[in-house]
Amino acid sequence: MAKRDYYEVLGIEKGADERSIKKAYRKLARKHHPDASDESPEVAEKKFKEISEAYEVLADSEKRSRYDQFGHDGVDFGGGGFSWDQFSHQGDISDLFGQLFGGRQGGGGGMGSIFSQLFGGGQSQPNNRGNDLRYDITLDLKEAFTGIEKEITIPREDSCKTCNGSGAAKGGTAKTCVTCAGQGIVRKVMQRGFMQTVSTDTCSDCRGTGNVIDKPCKDCKGSGIVSVDKKIKLKIPAGADDGYRLRMRGQGSAGPNNGPKGDLYIVVNVKRHDIFQRQDNEIILDLDISPSQAVLGDSIRVPTLAGNVKLSIPSGTQSGDVLRLKGKGMPDITRPSIKGSQHVRINIKVPKPNGKTRKLWEELKKLDSTKPSFLDRMRDTFG
């Protein structure tokens, strides 16, 4: 099934700025997050992955540029399940054109091969950098408010300790692959009429390493890398919101032949709260008060993410009024000492009268129809 256009997925125009992209993602992520959506888990998960993938591309200027130019072929998100995905490694321009026009992986030449010749036939040595990894972590709003430090376990590829990443057992040696002459790639030349094309493929004999081991290590089977569960200390700063990404350099998978490790990308999702609503660094709380509190005013304690605080309700408060608690919102992720505000939206809750209170309400109704008004009388009575 063809992928949807990423701009369509987020519901934004192609020329949307970074702020619009982030705003659209936050709105959709909150709606379709599997922990908050009213949809079935399968449907919510599918939509959330589609939204996250679109955001990953459009929020990154380099990936967005490739996507705008080449579409989905310009960016390649590897599979890996809901929580884990490999981030794509784009090669040089010959690799990119090779993928787009069929000049790699047995494509047999064509436009990709022409570009390969123009730009030097690809890399002379295979790229042995390890894969980047992604880890999704879900926080509740209080954890996002305070920030967290925790230890996580990630599955990744590490250098084999038995052979120190060489792939050779004790007494074994690595010899230059005769098939590819140590290049790790093989070139195929094809003649089509007057045009000669060259395509490149990973050498199957050495698996792109350039060397063939006569006595492979029994633990890593000659690859030099093994699968492990790695414990990593993770710190998410206060103020993180949906879509916040943290890059941990060198915490991804190890590359073959003792190649450098890739990076680990932490992607934060924030669950919907029962009573608080978040809008960037602002917090909104809906609060019910009684008619007497609205008419006479009151001083009450209301919840915030930092604990209960005192709120003064002015006399004559109307339903729909919004009272502001400065500095009781979310911290700014770049400047934690600066916090947004909490906005308390008032709703006057009218109780159902019983036999006793009905008579009082009837008296108040009579007073309200006289002059001075009921409100003026109450103020005169209670100051």
CATH code, domain with 80 = 1.10.287.110
Confidence of residue 360 (pLDDT cuts 50, 70, 90): confident
**pLDDT exceeds cutoff 50 at 66:** yes
What's 323's domain CATH number? 2.60.260.20
Question: Is 84 found in the same domain as 11?
Answer: yes
- Residue 73 is classified by DSSP as G
Same domain, 133 and 36: yes
pLDDT of residue 117 exceeding 60, the answer is no
Domain that holds residue 96: 6-270
pLDDT digits (tens, 9 = 90+) for 125-184: 446 788 899 999 999 999 999 999 999 999 999 988 888 888 888 877 778 888 888 777
Task: Judge if 379 and 259 occupy the same domain.
Answer: no
- Residue 261 and residue 149 in one domain: yes
> 134 lies in a domain?
yes
Give per-residue pLDDT as tens, 239-283: 999 889 999 999 999 987 778 899 999 999 999 999 999 999 999
Cα separation, 53 vs 63, whole angstroms: 11
Q: Are residues 320 and 360 in the same domain?
A: no
Shared domain check, 220 and 310:
no
Is 199 in the same domain as 263?
yes
pLDDT band at 308 (very low <50, low <70, confident <90, very high): very high
Classify residue 190: in a domain, yes or no. yes
Domain limit, last residue, from 237, 270, 303: 270
Q: Is residue 46 located within the same domain as residue 190?
A: yes
pLDDT number for residue 344: 96
On whether both 14 and 96 belong to a single domain, the answer is yes
Whether the Cβ atoms of residue 16 and residue 54 lie closer than 8 Å to each other = no
Sheet holding 342-348, edge to edge: 276-279, 282-289, 342-348, 322-325
Alpha helices of the chain — where are they, by DSSP H? 6-10, 18-32, 41-58, 61-70, 93-101, 111-118, 141-146, 291-296, 355-368, 374-382
In a domain, 12, yes or no: yes
- Residue of higher predicted confidence among 368 and 354: 354
The answer to the question of residue 46 being in a domain is yes
Quick check: is 42 in a domain?
Answer: yes
Q: Report pLDDT for 112.
A: 36
Which residues are paired to 299 by β-bridges? 312
266 and 277, same domain (yes or no)? no
Structurally, the chain folds into a number of domains equal to 3
CA distance linking residue 96 with residue 102, whole number of Å: 10
- Note whether 108 and 211 are same-domain residues: yes
Pairing of strands 245-248, 195-202: unpaired
The CA-to-CA distance between both ends of the chain, in Å, stands at: 71
Tell me how far CA of residue 334 lies from CA of 42, 56, 237, 337, 339, in angstroms.
35, 21, 9, 9, 11
> Is there a domain that residue 1 lies in?
no
pTM: 0.56
Instruction: Give the residue from 212, 242, 270 where a domain finishes.
Output: 270
Degrees to nearest 5, angle at CA 99 with 67 and 157? 90
Are 323 and 374 in the same domain?
Answer: no
Instruction: Give the residue from 270, 291, 309 where a domain finishes.
Output: 270
**Residue in the structure block whose two tokens are 């108040």:** 364
